[in-house]
A and B are shown apart, each in its own frame.
Chain A
Amino acid sequence: MAENLTHKENFFKGIIKDNPVFVMLLGMCPTLGVTSSAFNGLGMGVATLFVLLMSNIVVSLIKSQIPSKVRIPAFIIIIASFVTIVEMVLEAYIPFLFEQLGIFIPLIVVNCLILGRAEAFASKNNLLSSIVDALGMGIGFTIALTALGAVREILGSGSLFDFRFVSEDANTLLLFILPPGAFIALAYLSVLFNKISKTN
């Protein structure tokens, strides 16, 4: 199926038609867990995008060398290596984000989105299409996380990317930065997303 797509279609399918969060429901743990602010969502999205891109590149390059019986463990090692790189880089250069994302950074390893793309796409397609696929999926994931983070931050803390619209002591809907708010905000965002993607 993928061979018939142009690169443009391949890129945009990750953002709209097969959006990893709203349509395929992949990577739900970080989606819900770190999106208490738009910045955290963006940070997680970019970290995942990097791991996804690198693992898709490596898997696509060495796909003919990996015996099919051990391909899943092999993919996991490739992914885990890049996650370790992300972990070390974040800890060294952006300690603030490292602290905020906490346990969800090592858990990028078990983000089903990344293993799913390695297995379903990169192990069957050439390098260029794999890169385009990773960029599309990664950007779709980042957009979804940033949007969810933005909605929760606006409703829950009355700010966006730490820019406040209301005074410090204003009553905001605290619920939205608490765990239940994540589920509820995502529920309504996916209703909205379904509506938009169907009318297109």
Chain B
Amino acid sequence: MEYILILIAAVFVNNIVLSQFLGICPFLGVSSKVSTSVGMSGAVLFVMTIATTVTYLLHEYVLVPAGLNYLRTITFILVIAALVQMVEIILKKVSPPLYQALGVFLPLITTNCAVLGVAILALGLENSSLIKAVFFAISNSLGFALALIVFASIREQLELANIPEGMKGVPINLLVAGLLSLAFLGFTALV
């Protein structure tokens, strides 16, 4: 039951993009086509899960016992940057088709604040455990995927719409994101 609540909360109620404002750069940047947004979501799912696992273990068994809590930010970002590089190299060797699908998105993920954000947020969960942290990361990346893919689908339709000159480009996209966020606000009472 607790896990179902985490899932619903992360995907709908506290959607990572639309209500927590993490990962806005890829949300606005790679959402012009549905196919690329699916690729990006896959890459985020992959990296976010691995990154949270590693950072959680590192925090519990290295930083906290050694009293080095203040090094959290530096350690986490280094671990994520290194992980992204490693995932890229391993994927290239092990699974070329997966690399083809996700490869271009991997370098972009280092500066995706959603990955670092979720790694930090996972430490603050109630009665946190490794399994819970990993589940939290998976739920959040599903939330990211939902927001990104829905947004990309709307943007594909927008290309055909007649938009006032001043609103073209960034403003209309932000406005659409705002309306989408408004829709997600309706889920607030779910949990």
Instruction: Name A's B-contacting residues (CB within 8 A).
Output: 25-26, 28-30, 32-33, 72-73, 76-77, 80-81, 83-84, 87-88, 103, 106-107, 109-112, 115, 175, 178-184, 186-188, 190-191, 194-195
Interface segment out of the listed B57-65, B129-137, B175-183: B175-183
CB atoms of A83 and B73 under 8 A apart: yes
Closest beta carbon of chain B to A173's beta carbon, Å:
13
CB atoms of B121 and A103 under 8 A apart: yes
A195 and B179 CA atoms in complex are apart in Å by 23
Closest beta carbon of chain A to B14's beta carbon, Å:
10
A15 and B144 CA atoms in complex are apart in Å by 32
CB atoms of A29 and B74 under 8 A apart: no
Q: Which residues of B contact A81 (CB under 8 A)?
A: 74
Q: Which residues of A contact B172 (CB under 8 A)?
A: 187
Contacts A77-B74, A81-B74, A191-B171 given; does A183 touch B28 at CB 8 Å = no
Tell which of A25, A29, A30, A110 touches B170, judged by Cβ atoms closer than 8 Å: A25
CB atoms of A180 and B77 under 8 A apart: no
Tell which of B71, B73, B78, B185 touches A178, judged by Cβ atoms closer than 8 Å: B185
Q: Does B174 contact A (CB under 8 A)?
A: yes
Q: Does B23 contact A (CB under 8 A)?
A: yes
Q: Does B34 contact A (CB under 8 A)?
A: no
CB atoms of A103 and B24 under 8 A apart: no
List B residues 46-99 near A (Cβ within 8 Å): 70-74, 76-78, 81-82
Q: Which residues of A contact B21 (CB under 8 A)?
A: 28-30, 32-33, 179, 182
CB atoms of B111 and A190 under 8 A apart: no
Interface segment out of the listed B37-45, B112-120, B152-160: B112-120
A194 and B171 CA atoms in complex are apart in Å by 10
A182 and B181 CA atoms in complex are apart in Å by 10
A72 and B110 CA atoms in complex are apart in Å by 10
A83 and B71 CA atoms in complex are apart in Å by 11
Interface of A is mostly: helix
CB atoms of A179 and B74 under 8 A apart: no
Q: Which residues of B contact A103 (CB under 8 A)?
A: 117, 120-121
A2 and B170 CA atoms in complex are apart in Å by 26
CB atoms of A28 and B24 under 8 A apart: yes
Closest beta carbon of chain B to A19's beta carbon, Å:
12
CB atoms of A191 and B73 under 8 A apart: no
Q: Does B25 contact A (CB under 8 A)?
A: yes
CB atoms of A106 and B73 under 8 A apart: yes
Q: Which residues of B contact A110 (CB under 8 A)?
A: 77, 110-113, 116
CB atoms of A186 and B174 under 8 A apart: yes
A4 and B137 CA atoms in complex are apart in Å by 47
CB atoms of B113 and A190 under 8 A apart: no
CB atoms of A190 and B170 under 8 A apart: yes
A83 and B113 CA atoms in complex are apart in Å by 14
CB atoms of B71 and A84 under 8 A apart: yes
Interface centre among B18, B19, B20, B73 (most CB of A within 10 A): B73
CB atoms of B175 and A29 under 8 A apart: no
CB atoms of A180 and B181 under 8 A apart: yes
Contacts A76-B81, A80-B77, A180-B182 given; does A107 touch B117 at CB 8 Å = yes
